[in-house]
A and B are shown apart, each in its own frame.
Chain A
Amino acid sequence: MKPALVISERDNVATALQALEPGRDLTFARGRVSVLDVVPSGHKIALCAIHTGEAVIKYGSPIGLATAEIPAGAHVHTHNLASTRGRGDLEAPPPPRLAEPDERNGERNGGERNGAGKP
């Protein structure tokens, strides 16, 4: 079994298929990543640095925004990634998306809600 799986080439995270320990080197099609944190099986690991407010991409689409600086090799979960959807706790609902297979995530979710409602 592969230690971790990248689903789409657009993704900036991989899914661990087994528990990963710090210091382990993983090789992906696009290069190597050194594991920084304990990453449980089924959880996500950053393939590159993801800055606060940037989209985390899995399955080729955004799954939320980074709420902290995420270095390559870090565990990505509720401590550094938050949803932008169904957020009745936020000021305004996000604009509805239209039929657009390619994301415009960067420009639309540019940061006004960064860090709000951290889990």
Chain B
Amino acid sequence: MSERPGFLGYRRPDGRIGTRNHVLVVPTVICSSVVAERVAAATQPIGTAVPHLAGCGQLGPDMRVTHDTLAAYCGHPNVGAVVVIALGCEQVVAQSLAEAARRHGKPVEIVAIQSEGGTVRTTAKATAIAQRFADALAAEPREWCDASELVLSLKCGGSDYTSGLASNPTLGRVTDRLVALGGTAVLGEIAEIMGAEHLLASRATRPATATKLIQIITRVETEARALGLDIRGTQPSPGNIRGGLTTIEEKSLGATHKGGEVAPLEDVVAYAAPITQKGLTVMDTPGLDVESVTGMVGGGAQVVVFTTGLGTPTGNPIAPVIKVTGNARTARQMADNIDLDVSGIMDDSETLDAAADRLFAEVLAVASGQQTSAERLGHREFAIHRRNPTI
């Protein structure tokens, strides 16, 4: 094989590469979420569900975001087959989600609670289908894939002063390496770019991309102003301030290290929208961890690297989430949630480059199937971003 770094992944009919091979059990609406969870529980770990709180009573763009996020998961490369659990009278159309799976060459079936005749029959029928899909997926082989096929989601949460000094710069070096190899990385959390947008904008390959980034940052500040609110109430968080972070600018400058120092900014996309450009993309997501990860995975990320100072358990239903900390105490106290300890950077016992070597190797191992702490512990958090009230 070539000298280039790579991993063992699942090559899909649409040309994309999966790092996992899940049967996705997707409820169209909150009303079918419990059935979906039961079907996934009966077929785990291959079966996995995306229970959610929406799918009806939503208007305009809010409805579209719910539908498009669910459709994005149905077409995601980490998904090998799809079972749609419908109710029968909801807004999100089961056929449309099934079509998203078919478009990407995935087997899919729909089971509807109203036409099937209740919870028990629907659960039984859908579980049999999901088990049949799971048996077929378990026999599919992984094959060698170039590292450039990776779309890496960059996330931080529960930040403290070690985040900006150790874990985020380590991840930034991995981002620069991956992008230099022809790969892709996506950065979200617009409020946590505020104060560091000039650094990202100066790396934009087209003026329109820089302008788009500035516009969405300005929108967040304008929204705060329209409400007469000061985002200092939440940014930085009380825990961030106790840890020594004083302002959102300081937090953002530390957080934006995840995006590397040289990787060109190629695109700015909407929540859960497809990431189509190699290089660095910024996605318009809120700062709330689970909504942010849900959106970036929806955009096509097959692996998430999540840096943390204080520690946090968040996972995802279809993508492995790798936890990295630069805080030695967190690495000890929350050992079951942490995959990689880079606290040696803080006491000079490890260089950033050496830590980045370890993290890059971890990303490729996890992409090849190595389980993360979040996967072992069953952390599969999923939350679709909402902007409007339910009608």
Contact = CB atoms under 8 A, between A and B. Distances in A.
Most chain B C-beta atoms within 10 Å of own C-beta, residue among A2, A94, A96: A96
Interface of B: 160-162, 164-165, 191, 194-199, 201-202, 204, 207, 210, 214-215, 217-218, 220-222, 224-232, 235, 241, 243-244, 246-250, 253-254, 346-348
Contact of A88 (B204, B218, B224): B224
A97 B244 contact: no
A90 B194 CA distance: 17
B332 to A, nearest CB: 16
A73 interface: no
A78 B221 CA distance: 20
Nearest to B207: A99
Nearest to B236: A83
Contacts of B347: 1
B253 A58 contact: yes
A63 B198 CA distance: 13
A88 B201 contact: no
B230 A61 contact: no
A83 B160 contact: no
A10 interface: no
Contact of B164 (A17, A59, A89, A103): A59
A32 interface: no
Given A88-B230, A101-B198, 12 more contacts: A44-B244, A63-B250, A77-B244, A85-B195, A86-B221, A88-B225, A88-B227, A88-B231, A98-B210, A99-B210, A100-B202, A119-B232
A71 interface: no
Contact-residue size bin, chain A (C-beta under 8 Å from the other chain):
35 or more
A97 B247 contact: no
Given A61-B196, A86-B191, A86-B224, A97 B214 contact: yes
B238 to A, nearest CB: 11
A86 B248 contact: yes
A61 B198 CA distance: 10
A56 B198 CA distance: 17
B201 A98 contact: yes
A96 B214 contact: yes
A113 interface: no
Interface in A56-114: 58-59, 61-64, 76-78, 81-90, 93-94, 96-101, 103
Most chain B C-beta atoms within 10 Å of own C-beta, residue among A89, A90, A97, A100: A97
A88 to B, nearest CB: 4
Contact of A89 (B194, B214, B228, B253): B228
A86 B226 CA distance: 11
A44 B246 CA distance: 9
Contacts of A100: 198, 202
A86 B202 contact: no
B101 to A, nearest CB: 40
Contact of A96 (B218, B228, B248, B253): B218
Contacts of A23: none
Contacts of B235: 86
B247 A99 contact: no
B132 to A, nearest CB: 51
B171 to A, nearest CB: 15
A62 to B, nearest CB: 6
Contacts of A78: 241, 246
Contact of B195 (A63, A82, A88): A63
A22 interface: no
A78 B214 CA distance: 27
A101 B265 CA distance: 14
A83 B196 contact: no
A77 to B, nearest CB: 5
Contact of B249 (A16, A40, A64): A64
Interface string A1-38: 11001010000000111000000000000000000000
Contacts of A103: 198
A54 B208 CA distance: 32
Contacts of B207: 99
Nearest to B252: A85
A85 B248 contact: yes
Contacts of B228: 88-89
Given A58-B253, A88-B231, A83 B199 contact: no
Nearest to B201: A99
